[in-house]
Structure 1
Amino acid sequence: MTDHWHQPLRHIKGGELTEDTMQTSGMRRLEAVSGKTVGSEKVWMGETHVGPATNSGDHHHGEAETAIYIKSGHPVFVFADGDKEIRLETGPGDYIFVPPYVPHREENPGEEDAVVIIARSSQEGIVVNLPSLWAEVSQED
């Protein structure tokens, strides 16, 4: 029987992040905390890099809520609101919340890498790549 009061803390050094997670075109996801890496049961955490003048593909994160902290660069988060495309321009120190199943993409119009820290309400890095922001999203993806 596992003693939940005496579990060791896990230290994941910056150089130990792995790319062994779901990827989306135009970005590089690195996994730090997950069911695979540390045995987490309710959270996934990592970082994403989007190079200069690059856009990610459109995607969503299934049933997971996603919280994003902008570490560096000025990424733009794009999502559809009805028939309108909404663009959220961000900078270092800003946060973004992405509700479950919301199609979106990250764009980096700047001249430096955009790096963001991501936390999700799932121990797995759920990523569903889509053909567009207006693609039908099934709640069962």
Structure 2
Amino acid sequence: MTDHSHAEQPRWKHDGVRVIKGDRLDSNTAQTPGMFRQAAINHARVGAQKIWAGTVTIEPDAKTGVHHHGELESVIFVLRGKARMRWGERLEFTAEAEPGDFIFVPPFVPHQEINADPSAPLECVLVRSDNEAVVVNITDVDPVEKPEAVYWVDPIHKQPE
């Protein structure tokens, strides 16, 4: 039988399970035209060591440049709107996701995120496998669908040159 009465037990009240209310997300993250990101779970807010979670709202027709996230895994859950993902060596593969759908982006996969609706925002929950925002921009790929309406640009997603 395991003894759970170790010295740290009294700290569980403050260091145990956390509930982050949806109206109390932290918008003190990278913000740029075309995208609004809010952190719910990260190191600064709850002491998370291996995960980042939050929300992102992407303006109509916004697109990122081609990039990958290194060793990070990402999960995107679509709340409202229509997401289009392009991936591959030349972004030759595409898939769309609607409310209730999950998108998984494996490590090192070159991709482009797109709000597929030219008239409505795309609202998603984003979860990453680390607190560090790793983005490697890929400039030598001519994407099938070029970012042209509103660049989804922030300190992580740089504007294509």
Q: Is the TM value for this pair above 0.5?
A: yes
8 Å Cα contact 1:58-1:133 kept in structure 2: no
Aligned-partner SS, 2:92: strand
Give the Cα–Cα distance (whole angstroms) in 1 for the partners of residues 63 and 16 of structure 2.
39
Relative to the length of structure 1, the TM-score reads 0.77
Query: Cα–Cα, structure 1 residues 62 and 3, in superposed 2: closer, same or farther, change >3 Å?
Result: farther
TM-score of the superposition, structure 2-length normalised?
0.69
1:3 equivalent in alignment to 2:8: yes
- Counterpart of 1:16 in structure 2: which amino acid? R
1:15 Cα deviation from its structure 2 partner: 2.3
Structure with higher Rg: it is 2
Aligned pair 1:100/2:111, yes or no?
no
CA separation of 1:59 and 1:83: change in aligned 2, threshold 3 A: closer
Residue number in structure 2 paired with 1:86:
93
Amino acid at match of 2:111: H
Q: Is contact 1:22–1:126 with CA below 8 Å preserved after alignment? A: no
Aligned residue pair count: 133
Please give the secondary structure, in 2, of the residue aligned with 1:93. Answer: coil
Residues 1:20 and 2:28 aligned together: yes
CA RMSD across the alignment: 2.8
Shift of 1:36: 1.1
Matches within 5 A, 1:1-141: 3=8, 6=12, 7-22=15-30, 26-79=34-87, 81-110=88-117, 111-122=119-130, 124-128=131-135, 130-132=137-139, 134=141
1:15 is paired with a residue whose SS is helix
Structure 1 pair 84/118, CA: closer, same or farther in 2 (3 Å)? Answer: closer
Q: For structure 2, which runs of at least 5 residues remain unmatched after alignment? A: 1-5, 143-161
Shift of 1:114: 0.5
State the Cα distance separating 1:20 from its structure 2 match. 3.0
Q: Secondary structure at the match of 1:20?
A: coil
- Consecutive unaligned residues of structure 1, counting only runs of 5 or more, are 136-141
Deviations 1:85-128 (A, max 9, x none): 22211101111111112232211131211111111111x14141
Contact 2:91 2:111 in 1 (8 A): no
Structure 1 segments, 4+ long, off by >6 Å, are none
Give the aligned partner of residue 145 of structure 2.
none
